[in-house]
Amino acid sequence: MMSDWNLQDLQDWDDRICEIAKKHGLDWYPITYETCDYYEMLGNMSYHGMPTHYGHWSYGKSFEQQHSQYQHGVTGLPYELIINSDPCISYLMLENPLYLQILIMAHCVGHSDFFKQNRNFGYTRADTVVPRMRNAKKRIQSYCEDPHIGIEKVEELIDAAHAVSLQVPRYPMDIPDLPEEYERYRINNLDIVKKNKVDARDLPYKPEYDLLGFCAAYGEHLEDWQRDVIEIVRDSAYYFMPQIRTKTMNEGWACFWHYKILHELELPQGLHLPFLKSHNQVVRPHIGRINPYHLGFHLFNKIEERYGLEECFIAREVHNDESFIRQYLTQEDCEELNLFSFSAKKDHYEVDDVSDEEGWESVKKTLLAQTAGNSIPVIYADSIEDGYILVLHHEHDGRDLEISYAEKVIKHITHLWGSEVKLITMVDDAPYEI
């Protein structure tokens, strides 16, 4: 059912949105809109919006969780979904009324502009991501169907790779100098490993934050198909990392522009008021946690107010969430947003700091520690002992690892590496080995 709109209506409103966006200087990837029902939307969300993503049981589990939560009224329907590709692909639900489709299309123009212009997305190769993942999906499917491999071995390996899929460099465009052979591996994929039989034990490598890449290159017991699967998961992780690093900025920029565009669209009252209501629902503060839409929208408006619109464009291009908040969040913002930090005690929560003259910088520091993927522990390959033991180190920032969880992850890394693995961390300010 198409509610109160048809496809021509969407085309007409999209033309008007694009005209306004171009006038303001936005430069985005072309957007292909696809309509779907809510069931299909939940499926797309489970696959992170990527229509050609490889299959895995975890995506089915995610779908069932989301579907169950929706059916029981725990969560509402997703409004929109857009992926970083050239052209971008965006999904519009058939159940959405016209005013919401207009908001989503204006919102997606902001997202697409961010994908194209923000430097953190520069290496994701948006023009090849869809065929790249389609090809990866076919290869994984072929391994599942191979009688000498089979689905159980493939899924076991993907399970292990997923466990450390976020252990990739936070700034992939700033990869440090590495040994020549390993650098060539990065450029030429796995051929260098196969042809020259590079041995990790012979390399004077620096601390390596790309655990999947390291295991794929130097895991002695890995077969070619295993290296390929690890590399597929690694490529996917590199693709999604910028979205983790820029969630607040990306959503804030999209909200900033759909709101600006709204005021120039000259919507009839019957569409204008519901549009505003939905906008307010999206950017409202959330009790007890940060709403990235709310924070990002607030900061971009404050940047325009304090420094002008041109500064907004500069910020959109050069920052990630961490540097963005560090640069632009002021005490005034903390007070207006009613930000405070708290911690869990045995049977209650306790407020640690509030956004007054004495506490706002501490509140800001706590926020920075929780944003842009900074809550993900940083683990790196440090050395190889006795010719086969992979030694990992945790960059301790005052937050201890959850030991029981870390022990499970180490088992997965051991599966990838093929030999013994140990992790050095800190627990209660004392060295601890897992």
DSSP character string of 376-432: SPPEEEEEEETTTEEEEEE--SSPPP-HHHHHHHHHHHHHHHSS-EEEEEEETTEEE
Altogether, the residues listed in the chain come to a count of 434
Nearest to 280 by CA among 295, 265, 294, 262: 294
Q: Are 70 and 127 in contact (CB under 8 A)?
A: no
Q: Which pLDDT belongs to residue 71? A: 65
Q: pLDDT digit of tens for each residue in the chain (434 aa)?
A: 457 889 999 999 999 999 999 999 999 999 999 998 877 887 777 766 676 777 776 776 766 776 676 665 555 555 678 999 999 999 998 889 999 999 999 999 999 999 999 999 988 889 999 999 899 999 999 999 999 999 999 999 999 999 999 888 776 554 433 344 444 444 344 444 444 455 555 544 567 888 998 888 888 788 999 999 999 999 899 899 999 999 999 999 999 999 999 999 999 989 999 999 999 999 999 888 899 999 999 999 999 999 999 999 999 999 999 999 999 999 999 999 999 988 878 788 888 888 889 989 999 999 999 898 888 898 988 888 877 888 999 988 888 888 999 999 999 999 999 889 999 998 888 888 88
Q: Is 201 found in the same domain as 114?
A: no
301 by Cβ neighbours in 10 Å (0-12 / 13-18 / 19+) ranks as middle
pLDDT at 161: 94
Evaluate whether residue 112 is within a structural domain: yes
Residues 161, 83 within the same domain = no
Specify the DSSP class assigned to residue 208.
B
Final residue of a structural domain among 341, 356, 374: 374
Backbone angles phi, psi at 36, to 5 degrees: -155, 160
Question: Residue 323 domain-assigned?
Answer: yes
Q: Are 31 and 86 in contact (CB under 8 A)?
A: no
CA angle 379, 381, 387 (to 5 degrees): 150
Whether residue 263 lies inside any domain: the answer is: no
Question: Do residues 335 and 388 both lie within one domain?
Answer: no
Residue 73 falls inside a structural domain = yes
| Same domain, residue pair 228 and 135 | yes
> Where among 118, 144, 172 does a domain terminate?
118
Q: Are residues 237 and 385 in the same domain?
A: yes
Residue 202 lies in a domain: yes
- Could you give the number of structural domains in the chain? 3
How large is the C-alpha radius of gyration of the chain?
23
Same-domain status, 300 and 327: yes
Is 316 domain-assigned? Answer: yes
Q: Is residue 11 part of a domain?
A: yes
pLDDT of residue 191: 44
Q: Which domain holds residue 159?
A: 129-244+377-433
pTM: predicted TM-score of the whole model, two decimal places: 0.88
Checking 378-382 for CB contacts under 8 A at 24+ apart, the result is 378/170, 378/209, 379/164, 379/167, 379/209, 379/211, 379/423, 380/207, 380/208, 380/209, 380/211, 381/205, 381/207, 381/208, 381/211, 381/214, 382/207, 382/424
| 336 shares its domain with 383 | no
Q: 112 and 59, same structural domain?
A: yes
- Note whether 165 and 306 are same-domain residues: no
303: tokens are 């940047």
**Residue closest to 251 by CA, chosen among 287, 305, 299:** 299
CA distances from 246 to 27, 75, 165, 171, 316 (A): 18, 24, 18, 12, 10
Q: Are residues 173 and 234 in the same domain?
A: yes
Strand-strand pairing, 430-433 and 421-427 = antiparallel
DSSP string for residues in 283-328: TS-BTTB--HHHHHHHHHHHHHHHH-HHHHHHHHHH--HHHHHHHH
- Do the domain assignments include residue 258? no
Residues 311 and 344 in one domain: yes
Task: Kindly state whether residues 110 and 140 are assigned to the same domain.
Answer: no
For 234, the token pair is: 């690694």
Write down which residue in 118, 148, 172 finishes a domain. Answer: 118
